[in-house]
Structure 1
Amino acid sequence: MSTLAPPRPAVRATASTGLRGPARLVVRQHLRAFQLLILLTVLIVAGLVAVTMWVGHDAAAFARTGCQVGSNSPTHACAQSVRDYMDSQLRLSTARNWIQLLLVLLPAVYGAFMAGPAIGRELESGTHRLAWTQSVSPARWLTAKLAVPATAVVAVTLVLTAAHAWASGQAEQYTDEWYMDGLRPTSGVLPLTYALFALAVGTLAGLLLRNTLRSMAVALVVQGISVYGFGKVRPHLWPVVTATYSSRIDDFHPGRWVVDSGYLTSTGERLPFSTCADSSEVGDTCLNALGITGRYVDYHPESHHWPLQLVETGILLAVAALAVYASYRLLRRLHA
């Protein structure tokens, strides 16, 4: 007589909440790197918040003293209070400068990671073929290689950018003009743009060279050239505003990002301010001899902040999109 085993209880189908397929493999391969990135981000933001709150407490204490920065107070108490307050503000400025440096360097690290450990090492060692034989197409493999790091990079960059913007808003002293603090690749949308640009360029470098060290070196060089190059051409990404004056004496207008300035002659010719610097003629004699009647100033007002940022963002994202497209085309040729 035979007995039948009792039927197994029905397993209720549930939707998987975790990553699957190549995305899960990418996370497992670089789990330590992702964990380190998250840990460093948490520590950096916590440190910046602590410094900002400390400085805010010092600023509130200074306000209660009734002293003012720049006032010629005869009392020693005010002099010491002002000195302590300025030292406290300097600590916040130093912390902000470190965050700015980090936001400049991180995209280069992202690009080197994509070019080296994420792409170049697998192509160099041949381990990518194993994934391609496990019902994973090359396009899907590359998509996972791009999507997982991009998600982590976007999250980290947004958190650091927001923390830096918040700390900058708490500063009372040692603040930069809008064209210094707002047009470096450390504020607005530029940190995220440079991060995505670095991922795309690093991916293309890894696929082209298929060597870990060479791919990382090329990605770092391209990122460095991009940051340096845009630093040089940034003032010319949007048309400047020109102001002319009948006076020959230059004056200072806060909030203006001056791109060019000099003298104007009666014929409308532009001459630099150093025109008569080496002349032996004294006073206005040299200026009168050249027919100089006034001066000009080419500048960006604060309203040009976002147009300048968005033009640079558009250029970088367009190049990044081309790099991603070229990566998929190159991968198709390699697979064929």
Structure 2
Amino acid sequence: MIWLTWRQFRAQTLVTLGALAVLALYLVVLGNQIRTFYTTRIADCTGDACTLARFELRADYGHTISVLVVVLLAVPGLIGVFWGAPLVSQELEQRTDRLVWSQSVTRTRWLVVKLTVIGLFSVAVTGVFSLLLTWSVSRYDQVIGERFAAYNFGSRNIVPIGYGLFAFVLGVVVGLLVRRTLLAMALTLAAFAALQLLVPAVARQNLMPPVTETITVDAEVLRQGVGMSLEDDGTFTLRGYTVPGGWALTDSSPLLKPDGSAYTGDDAKPCIAMVGDRAESDACTAAQNLRFTHTYQPADRYWTFQWIELGLYTALSLLLAAFGLFWLRRRR
């Protein structure tokens, strides 16, 4: 069965290995270019030179990295559509499965071998791609940050391995259920795309209880370039604050005075009068000891989130595979 699976899958394997080799070469070149930029422009910079260098780094490489991220996020879906969905549905549709089962190969062994061999190859493809991209853009991520951003989180380190495995098993099981190749491909793509949108938007932030802190508006907070918006009710809201390296779960928070009451336009007038001098205006605001609450996921939880999400996708893959085996054994 392993030999037969290889014979049926060797064309896709060779094409994939060739594409991966070309991509690896490009990512190595890109990674070296970013490292050279970092060494010459950022490593020893100070003051405004650092700000300009960071801007140029994003301008020079941000678009290219975004394209690579989209490609990596699409790879698991393509695996599910073109490797997973036709793998069994095509056999059932053409009734070639009956020939295999008549050769002393049980249907359980038939499916287990297919899931194992090609599933491991799916894991290897997404894992190698992810590790190459993670290495290539590591200096860019170090400077720009945003590790918890949805696209960045889903395209770095170990999480894409879970995506690749899940998408493949999902395609196989959908094909097993509907027994029509084109329909299975369409349903697999729709289901995987929906999950990829829902997890970062709804589920990921709740994998661990968030942290809520009361933050004092001081010079360090103001240096982040936060915005203070005057609302219709005459109170101020602070926007754009992020704990360094963390994942902000609140976009805005009401500004409060030390006694807990709302900070109003009248309270801000002395500092607004200094708007011509940003340093004096910021010092005036900081001296008022304003506070706001901020809900976030700390930076040191990044790898915990990676492992949790990988574990969840792996568990879902195993459950789907078990269901597929159960369903196949019940088929008459």
**TM-score in terms of structure 1 length:** 0.74
- Deviation per CA, 1:157-193: give whole Å up to 9, x if none: 2211111111122338862322127862212221001
CA distance in 1, matches of 2:2, 2:65: 35
Aligned-residue CA RMSD (Å): 3.5
CA distance in 1, matches of 2:40, 2:49: 17
Tell which deviates more after alignment, 242-251 or 163-172: 242-251
Seen in structure 2, the aligned counterparts of structure 1 residues 320 and 116 have a Cα distance that, compared at 3 Å, is: closer
- Mapped pair 1:309 → 2:313: no
Task: Report how far residue 319 of structure 1 moved.
Answer: 1.8
Tell which deviates more after alignment, 320-329 or 177-186: 177-186
> Who is 2:48 aligned against?
70
Written as runs of structure 1 = structure 2, the 5 A alignment for 1:148-187 is 148-171=117-140, 175-180=144-149, 184-187=153-156
CA distance in 1, matches of 2:13, 2:93: 22
Task: Report how far residue 133 of structure 1 moved.
Answer: 0.9
- Deviation per CA, 1:113-141: give whole Å up to 9, x if none: 24433111111110111111112111111
> Who is 2:293 aligned against?
296
Q: Which runs of 5+ in 1 are unaligned?
A: 1-21, 73-81, 286-292
CA distance in 1, matches of 2:311, 2:37: 42
Q: Which runs of 5+ in 2 are unaligned?
A: 218-235, 269-289
CA distance in 1, matches of 2:36, 2:295: 42
Task: Report how far residue 223 of structure 1 moved.
Answer: 0.6
Written as runs of structure 1 = structure 2, the 5 A alignment for 1:73-112 is 90-112=59-81
Q: CA contact under 8 A between 2:145 and 2:245: conserved in structure 1?
A: no
The one-letter amino acid paired with 2:25 is A
Aligned residues, how many? 287
- Mapped pair 1:42 → 2:11: no
> Who is 2:5 aligned against?
26
CA distance in 2, matches of 1:333, 1:52: 51
Seen in structure 2, the aligned counterparts of structure 1 residues 172 and 149 have a Cα distance that, compared at 3 Å, is: closer
Structure showing greater radius of gyration is 1
CA distance in 2, matches of 1:253, 1:59: 24
CA distance in 2, matches of 1:325, 1:213: 24
> Who is 1:238 aligned against?
208
CA distance in 1, matches of 2:98, 2:212: 60
User: Match of 2:148, SS?
Assistant: helix
Task: Report how far residue 229 of structure 1 moved.
Answer: 0.6
The one-letter amino acid paired with 1:127 is T
- Deviation per CA, 1:222-270: give whole Å up to 9, x if none: 110111010112112211111124667745543232212523889x99x
Seen in structure 2, the aligned counterparts of structure 1 residues 25 and 188 have a Cα distance that, compared at 3 Å, is: same
> Who is 1:321 aligned against?
318
Tell which deviates more after alignment, 215-224 or 142-151: 142-151
CA distance in 1, matches of 2:193, 2:244: 31
CA distance in 2, matches of 1:226, 1:54: 35
Q: CA contact under 8 A between 1:90 and 1:174: conserved in structure 2?
A: no
- Mapped pair 1:123 → 2:92: yes
Tell which deviates more after alignment, 255-264 or 202-211: 255-264
Q: CA contact under 8 A between 2:84 and 2:169: conserved in structure 1?
A: no
> Who is 1:52 aligned against?
31
Hey, which of these two has a bigger chunk of helix by percent? 2
The one-letter amino acid paired with 1:147 is T
Q: CA contact under 8 A between 1:55 and 1:89: conserved in structure 2?
A: no
CA distance in 2, matches of 1:69, 1:36: 49
